[in-house]
Amino acid sequence: MAELTQNEKKLLAALEPLKTAGPDTLSQVLGTREDAVIQHAYLLADRGLAEVMRSTEVSYRLTGEGIEYGEKGLPERQLYQSFGDSIPLADLSKNPLSRIGIGQMRRKGWVTIKDGIVTKTGTAAESDEEHALCDPSSGGRGVKDLVKRGLLVEEETVSIRIRITPEGTAMVRAGLDLTEETGTLTRDQIISGAWKDLTLRRYDVEKLPKRVYPGKIHPYQRLIDHMRHVLLEMGFTEIQGSIVQSAFWNFDALFQPQDHPAREMQDTFYLSEKIPVPGGYERVRDMHLFGGETTSTGWGGAWSQEKAEQCVLRTHTTSLSIQHLACNPEPPVKAFCISRVYRREAIDPTHLPEFEQLEGIVMDEGVSFRHLLGYLKEFYGRMGFDDVRFRPAYFPYTEPSVEPEVYVDGLGWVEMGGAGIFREEVTAPWGIHHPVLAWGLGVSRMAMLRLGLKDLRLLYRSDIEWIRETPTWIPEHRGRR
C-alpha cells in the first residue's frame, strides 16, 4: 500500500487518543478547516484506518413569529385571556388577534359561538401546541401543527463522527513520522541550501499522470515523408507541379486518345478555362493521327486542338512526369512525385475525389523491362513488403505494362499500383530516345493498410482524437545485403 500523506498521518495521530470525534474537534486540534478534516478522514477510511459515520438529525427552529408567540402566548390564548365569560362576537372581532384566534378557540373547544355571542366553555388546558412551543424538541402532534402554522421550521443536520479502527490504532502505536513535508521547492530553498534540511513529499508513481498531447505531424503525412525519403535515398529527384493541367499534358501527351472514356465529364473534373497548346504540339498530334515517325499506326481518326486546350484538375501525377521529361530529355533522369490528384468519383469508404498518388520514373540508356521489375521489388521491399509478384496489365501510355502484387498478412495478395515502360508514342515527340520506366500507386490505399483504417475518409476528415491517440510511427529500417 502506498504511503500515507502528511495530512492523513496528522489526522490519524490526532484521532488515536480521542478514539471517536467530530470534525469540529479535530479541526481545532489540527488547526485546519473542517472540510479538509473530512476529506482526509475519507482517505483514511479508504485504507481501512478509520471509519466515517454520517448521521442525520432533525431539529426544529422557531420562526420569528414563533418566538413572538412564545413570549406572549399563542393568539388564541391571548384572545381567550382578553375577555370574561362571554363577549359579543362583533366586539371580539375588533381585536387584531381575532382573525386567527377565534377559529383556533373554536377548534380547540374553548368557546362556543351562538347568536353572535362568544361564550367560554370551561377551562382551556394547555394545548399540545403550547407545549411544543415551549419545548420544540419534545416532538408529538403539537410540533407538526406548529410547522403547519408556520411557527416552527424543521431542519436536517448531518453530523459526522470519525472513529479510528483497530488497524489505525495499531499503525499509530507502531509510530508515525510526522515531520513537515515540502511540496514544490522554492528558489530560496534551492539557492540557500535550506533544501538539505527539508523532507520532500513523495508522489505515488502508480497513480496515472495527466495526459498531455504533443503537437505533431499527421500520421498519414509521416507515411508520405517516409516514402519520399525512400526514393531520395535511391537517388530520385522530387518534382512538383500545378493542380491545373491542360488536357494536352494530362491526356494527349500521354497518348490517351481524345475519345477515351476517362476523358469524359463523368470521370474527370473540367474547368472552364483554357490553356494554349505548347510549342511542339504538332508532334503529339501526328503521333495520334498516324504514329509520327515511329513504327506505330497511331489512333487514326481526328485530333482536335480545342479539346487539347481544355483545362482539367490533374487526374494523375504522370502529367507532371512527362513535362519533366520534356524539359530533361537527356539521360539519366530519376524523378518522383507524391501529390494530390483528382477523379470525379462519388465519396464512399474506398473512393474520394482527391487523394495522393506516387509516381517514379527512370530514364537511362539501356534500361529495360527487367530493370523495371527490379525497381518495383526494391521500392516495395523498402516499404515493408518482402513478397512481390508481377502480372501483365494494361495502361494506355505504357507497353509492356505490369501490375505488382504484394503479400499482406491477413489479406493475401493485394494489387498495389501499376507500372510499365512509356510507349514510344509518348516519349518520341520530346526527343527522348531511351526507355522510360514508370510506376505509380495510390498512396492513400497503402496508408489504409499501414494505419489500419477501413475508411479512406478518415485520412482527410480529421478526428482530433484519432490524431492525438495515434503514436508516432518510426519505420523499420530494413537492412539489405
Partner 1 sequence: MAIITLPYRYLESLVGTDKKTIISRLPMIGSDIERIEEDHADVEFFPDRPDLFSVEGVARAMRGFLGIETGLPDYKVSPPETTFSIDPGLAAIRPYLGSAVIRDLHFDEESITSLMGLQEALHWAVGRGRSKVAIGVHDMDKVKGPFHYIAAPRDRSFIPLDYDKEMTMEEILAEHPKGKAYAHIVQDFARFPLIVDDEDRVLSFPPIINGELTRVTEETRNILLDTTGTDPKAVKIAVAIICTALAENGARIEGVTIEGSTWPDLGPTERNVSASECNRLLGLTLPPTGIAGLLEKMRFSAVAGEGDTIRVGVPCYRADIMHDWDIFEDAAIAYGYENFDARISSTFAIGKENPVQAVMGAIRELVSGLGYLEVLPFTLTNERTLYTRMRRPMQECALKILHPISEDHTLVRTSILPLLLETLQANRHRELPQRIFAVGDVIEGMHTIQKLACVSTHPGADFSEAYATADALCRELSLSYKAVGSHDGAFIEGRRGDIVCKEKISGVFGEIHPAVLNAFELEHPVAAVELDLTAVPGYPATPGSP
274 three-class SS? strand
Which positions ≥6 away from 276 have C-beta within 8 Å? 309
Give whichever of 97 and 313 is closer to partner 1, judged by the CB atom: 313
The answer to the question of residue 194 lying near partner 1 (CB under 8 A) is no
The answer to the question of residue 223 lying near partner 1 (CB under 8 A) is no
382-390 contact pairs (CB < 8 A, 24+): 382/230, 382/234, 382/478, 383/227, 383/230, 383/446, 384/450, 384/475, 384/476, 384/478, 385/416, 389/413
The answer to the question of residue 467 lying near partner 1 (CB under 8 A) is yes
The answer to the question of residue 461 lying near partner 1 (CB under 8 A) is yes
Using CB under 8 A as the criterion, what x/- string covers residues 311-350 for binding partner 1?
x-x-----------------xxxx-----x-x-xxxx---
Residue in 214, 228, 231, 230 with CA at minimum distance from that of residue 476: 230
The answer to the question of residue 306 lying near partner 1 (CB under 8 A) is no
> In the complex, what is the shortest distance from the CB of residue 232 to partner 1, in angstroms, rounded to a whole number?
4
The answer to whether 243 and 313 have CB atoms below 8 angstroms apart is: yes
What residues between 387 and 406 interact with partner 1 by CB under 8 A? 389-394, 399-402
Give whichever of 87 and 239 is closer to partner 1, judged by the CB atom: 239
Ramachandran assignment for 415, one of left (phi > 0), alpha (psi -120 to 50 degrees), beta (any other): beta
356 three-class SS? strand
The answer to the question of residue 216 lying near partner 1 (CB under 8 A) is yes
The answer to the question of residue 209 lying near partner 1 (CB under 8 A) is no
Q: Pick from 455, 460, 473, 478 the residue near partner 1 by CB under 8 A.
A: 460
The answer to the question of residue 221 lying near partner 1 (CB under 8 A) is yes
Q: Pick from 421, 436, 441, 446 the residue near partner 1 by CB under 8 A.
A: 421
Q: Pick from 47, 163, 218, 283 the residue near partner 1 by CB under 8 A.
A: 218
The answer to the question of residue 295 lying near partner 1 (CB under 8 A) is yes
Give whichever of 39 and 258 is closer to partner 1, judged by the CB atom: 258
Measured torsion, CA atoms of residues 209, 215, 217, 219, in degrees rounded to the nearest 10: 30
Q: Pick from 6, 27, 425, 427 the residue near partner 1 by CB under 8 A.
A: 425
Give whichever of 135 and 469 is closer to partner 1, judged by the CB atom: 469
What residues between 264 and 283 interact with partner 1 by CB under 8 A? 265, 269-273, 275
What residues between 119 and 148 interact with partner 1 by CB under 8 A? none
CA–CA distance from 26 to each of 15, 35, 165, 481 (Å)?
Answer: 7, 11, 16, 76
Interior/surface letters 11-45, b for 16+ CB within 10 angstroms, e for the rest: bbbbbbeeeebebebbbebbebeeeebbebbeebb
What residues between 345 and 384 interact with partner 1 by CB under 8 A? 345-347, 353-354, 362, 364, 366-371, 373-378
Distance between CA atoms of residues 49 and 187, nearest Å:
37
> In the complex, what is the shortest distance from the CB of residue 352 to partner 1, in angstroms, rounded to a whole number?
8
What residues between 429 and 458 interact with partner 1 by CB under 8 A? 435
Cell numbers representing residue 471 in the block: 503514436
Cell numbers representing residue 335 in the block: 524523378
